């Protein structure tokens, strides 16, 4: 069957999305949540691990915390980048304060830190706040 495997970031269910539907905002067959709609989803460690390991579309995670000024400053830029890259990659956020094991597992030394995962492996990492154009360029160069 042609298409891309995507983990629903809301319920964790695996979905297969036809190539021609990726940019059209496909929804999860189980819960109806958007799968690749150009919005940033908040995820937990288990969901990130499953998506990074199984998805056919690259996933970019922003490791952040609510008390971090640069993280809050970058949030709208990250959302703009997600809209620009809709259907090509999925952008997610993981709150390292709410999920401290994630910071330890991925050796996060400073926040915000973005990491690109593709085919089950971390492909690139970048720390520090960036404007949306730089985020898009960095992601495009590593996917």
**pLDDT single digits (tens) 100-133:** 999 889 999 999 999 999 989 999 999 999 999 9
User: Domain count of the chain?
Assistant: 1
Spatial separation of the C-alpha atoms in residues 16 and 86, rounded to whole Å: 17
Q: Which single residue is written with the structure tokens 């908040």?
A: 42
Q: How confident is the model at residue 3 (pLDDT cuts 50, 70, 90)?
A: confident
Spatial separation of the C-alpha atoms in residues 24 and 36, rounded to whole Å: 8
Does a structural domain hold residue 27? no
| Pairing verdict, β 90-95 and 59-64 | parallel
**pLDDT single digits (tens) 32-47:** 999 887 899 999 999 9
Does a structural domain hold residue 7? no
What residues are annotated to the active site? 68, 71
This prediction's pTM:
0.91
- Contact between 139 and 85 (Cβ < 8 Å): yes
- Contact between 26 and 15 (Cβ < 8 Å): yes
Q: What is the 3-state secondary structure (H, E, C) of 48-105?
A: HHHHHHHCCCCEEEEEECCCCHHHHHHHHHHHHHHHHCCCCCEEEEEECCCCHHHHHH
Does a structural domain hold residue 59? yes
Does a structural domain hold residue 3? no
The pLDDT, as a whole number, for residue 87 is 85
Does a structural domain hold residue 22? no
Does a structural domain hold residue 65? yes
Q: How confident is the model at residue 20 (pLDDT cuts 50, 70, 90)?
A: confident
Spatial separation of the C-alpha atoms in residues 20 and 42, rounded to whole Å: 26
**pLDDT single digits (tens) 42-92:** 999 999 999 999 999 999 999 999 999 999 999 999 999 999 998 899 999
Does a structural domain hold residue 25? no
Does a structural domain hold residue 87? yes
| Pairing verdict, β 14-17 and 113-118 | unpaired
Please give the residue range of the domain that contains residue 81. Answer: 38-141
Q: Indicate which CATH number applies to the domain containing 60.
A: 3.40.30.10
């Amino acid at each position: 069957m042609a298409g891309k495997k995507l983990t629903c970031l809301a319920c964790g269910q695996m979905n297969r999305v036809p190539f021609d539907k990726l940019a059209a905002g496909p929804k999860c067959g189980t819960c109806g949540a958007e799968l690749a709609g150009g919005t940033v989803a908040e995820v937990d460690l288990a969901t990130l691990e499953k998506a990074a390991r199984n998805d056919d579309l690259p996933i970019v995670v922003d490791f952040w915390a609510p008390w971090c000024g640069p993280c809050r400053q970058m949030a709208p830029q990250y959302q703009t980048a997600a809209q620009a890259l809709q259907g090509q990659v999925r952008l997610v956020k993981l709150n390292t304060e709410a999920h401290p094991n994630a910071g330890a597992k991925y050796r996060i030394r400073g926040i915000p830190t973005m990491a690109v995962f593709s085919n089950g492996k971390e492909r690139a990492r970048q720390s520090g706040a960036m404007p949306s154009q730089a985020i898009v360029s960095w992601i495009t160069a590593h996917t």
